[in-house]
Amino acid sequence: MDIQALIERVQNGDTDSFEPIIRLYEQSLFRYCCFLLGNKQEAEDAVQDILFQAYRHMHKVDSTKPLRPWLYTIAQNHCYNMLKKRKRWLSLLPLFRSGDPPAKSAEQVAAERFDGEFGEIARWMQGLSAQEKHLLVLRVVEECTFEEIGRMMNEKPTTIRKRFERLRRKLVRQHRHLYDEQKEVIRHEQQYELR
C-alpha cells in the first residue's frame, strides 16, 4: 500500500494504518538519531517520542507531499532539544560531584560500546556542529537527495548542495592524515598484487 493512502487512512481515524508507517521509517530514524545523539538508548527513546509526535500531528500532514522530510524535521527538532537538555545537565553535574572519582555510569559503559561499533564515524563527526552532523547523516547515511534535505531544512537544494560540498572539504582537511594513510595502504596492496 502506498504511503499517501496510509496517511489518509490514519487521518480518517484508522489507527492500525500507522503501523506500516512505523515499520517503514523506524530503522532509518533510529540510525539518524543514533548518529546525532551518539547514544543508542537515547536514540531508541527518541524514535518512540518522534513516532508518537508524528501520530499525534498526522492531521497536519499533506498527503500529497512526501512524509519522509516531515518525519525527519520532527526528528531533527527532537534530537536538538535532547542535546540542549543534555548540555544543561552536564553543566550542572560538577556542582553535585564529591571529591571521589565516580564509578562508570551505565551511560558511560553504553557510550564506550557505541564507540566500538561506530567509533570511526564518531571520530569523523567530532568537531562538527549539530547542523553539520544533521546534513552529513541525512546525505551519507540516510542517502537523502538534496531536494529532500532542502524540504526538511526549508532551504533550496542548491544551498544544501553547496553547504554539503563545504562540509566535505572541511572533513577532508580535518582528516587528511586518515585519507593519506588509506591511500598508502592501497598503494602497498597494489604493489604486492603486482609481484
User: CB within 8 A of 167, min separation 6: which ones?
Assistant: 128, 132, 135, 136
pLDDT at 113 over 60: no
Q: What is the pLDDT of residue 88?
A: 67
Q: What is the pLDDT of residue 157?
A: 93
| Domains of the chain, each with CATH number or no CATH | 3-96+110-194 (1.10.1740.10)
Residue 54 to residue 46: CA distance in whole angstroms:
12
> What's the pTM?
0.61
